A = this chain, B = another copy of it.
Amino acid sequence: MTKQKKSALKEQEGVSQSEITNSISIKNIQRKRRAKPSVEDLVSQILKGDITALSRAITLVESKNASHVEKANAIIKSCLPNANNSVRIGITGVPGVGKSTFIESFGKYLTAQGKKVAVLAIDPSSSLTKGSILGDKTRMEDLVKDKNAFIRPSPSGDSLGGVARKTRETITLCEAAGFDTIIIETVGVGQSETAVHSMVDFFLLLKLAGAGDELQGIKRGIIEMADAIAINKADGENTKSAKIAKVEFNRALHLYPKKESSWTPKVTLCSALHNEGIDNIWNIIQDYVKITSENNYLQFKRNEQNKFWLIQTIEEQLKSSFFNNAEIKAALEKQLQLIEDNKTTPFAAADYLLGLRS
């Protein structure tokens, strides 16, 4: 041992030992840096408004990994007592209507009023397009730099139900992190709009004034959902046609029965590009929140939405676990052929298939 200490190797050993010590330290540091923070740590950081922790928790919500899902569920549960305290606004409109410009303008207006704004999205096509909506944050250049704004692109998913669940759970996390205004953007596709409508307090439809018949081709179901219609790009030479469109939409809205909320949907003009009419839209939303808080409709609607998601999630799961079963899949094909050959009825086939699982 003493010989060794004196040998030339000693120095090398010393260096070697030192290297080992160093590399252990480094690994410890690296491990600490990489270390997945505990549920408790993440929750306490989220409640302090820490954006990194919030993003991390959302990533867990979006993960398919079972242990991530478990962790995400625990975080959400701990965040619940501090959630449910924001104004949730859904925004929809066909491509080209200027949704990004509008959200940038509206979001900046809100942060200037001292609001903390989270912008989320539901785009069921995002699993194919890798999240076209909000994926390109450069479309909201100013808002993205705003420390009181948080922008998160649409989660991807195999089903709208899955995407919607992730977004709904992200709302809870954002609320717990202190965001008091949640904006959820969606594309002009019927199903995703229904999903967004089922998780927001206020639903805003963005429209453009067109040259022809304003009412032709409009999805009636979407107009029925709207708490307000904002006709965007109402500037310059568009102003006149926008005003005409406003009259026509007001007339169209009067064809619908009065809403349960006792709120009369409003039609308004704006120019997101020139930041015009944005304040008025926020006033409309504040009026809505005031009226529906006073008549308890806001809380009633949230309860109904929760029931909807509960039932919806169960039904989707029941169906997918039945129809994705390999045995059922094979048998279903055979039964469909028998139906086509007039050898069985759809009802007898259904009874047979259900019998396979029970």
Would B353 and A336 count as touching, CB distance under 8 A? no
* Residues B216 and A350 in contact, CB atoms below 8 Å apart: no
Choose one: B84, B165, B347; the contact of A342 (CB below 8 Å): B84
CB-nearest residue of chain B relative to A342? B80
Interface centre among A165, A343, A348 (most CB of B within 10 A): A348
Q: Scan A323-358; emit 1 where CB is below 8 A from any B CB, else 0.
A: 000000000000110011011111111110110000
List the number of copies, as a whole number: 2
A83-B319 Cα distance, complex, nearest whole Å: 31
Q: Mark A161-190, 1 if CB is under 8 A from B, else 0.
A: 000010011001000000000000000000
Which residue of B80, B349, B354 contacts A344 across the interface (Cβ within 8 Å)? B80
Whether a CB of chain B sits under 8 angstroms from the CB of A66 is: no
Distance, CA A208 to CA B214, complexed state (A): 28
How many residues on the A side are at the interface (Cβ–Cβ under 8 A)? 44
Does A137 have its Cβ within 8 Å of any Cβ on chain B?
Answer: no
Cα separation A76 to B342 with both chains bound (whole Å): 11
Q: Is A128 part of the binding interface, using a Cβ–Cβ cutoff of 8 Å?
A: no
27 contacts between A and B (CB under 8 A): A80-B342, A83-B342, A84-B342, A165-B347, A168-B346, A168-B347, A216-B255, A217-B255, A307-B336, A307-B339, A307-B346, A309-B346, A309-B347, A310-B336, A310-B339, A310-B349, A310-B350, A310-B353, A313-B347, A313-B350, A314-B350, A314-B353, A315-B315, A317-B350, A317-B354, A318-B319, A318-B354
Question: Contact: A77 with B344, CB < 8 Å?
Answer: yes
Q: Which residues of B contact A130 (CB under 8 A)?
A: none
Using a CB–CB distance below 8 Å, which chain A residues touch chain B? 73, 76-77, 80-81, 83-84, 165, 168-169, 172, 216-217, 220, 255, 303, 306-310, 313-315, 317-319, 322, 335-336, 339-340, 342-351, 353-354
Q: Which residue on B lies nearest to A81, using beta carbons?
A: B342
Q: Chain B's nearest CB lies how many Å from the CB of A293?
A: 17
Q: CB distance A348 to B314 under 8 Å?
A: no
Complex Cα–Cα for A73 and B344 (A): 10
Which of B73, B172, B348, B354 touches A77 (beta carbons < 8 Å)? B348
Q: Which residue of A77, A168, A313 has the most chain B CB atoms within 10 A of its CB atom?
A: A313
Nearest 10 A-B pairs (CB), nearest first?
A313-B350, A309-B346, A310-B346, A318-B318, A306-B346, A314-B350, A80-B342, A306-B339, A165-B347, A310-B349
Contact A313–B346 (Cβ < 8 Å): yes
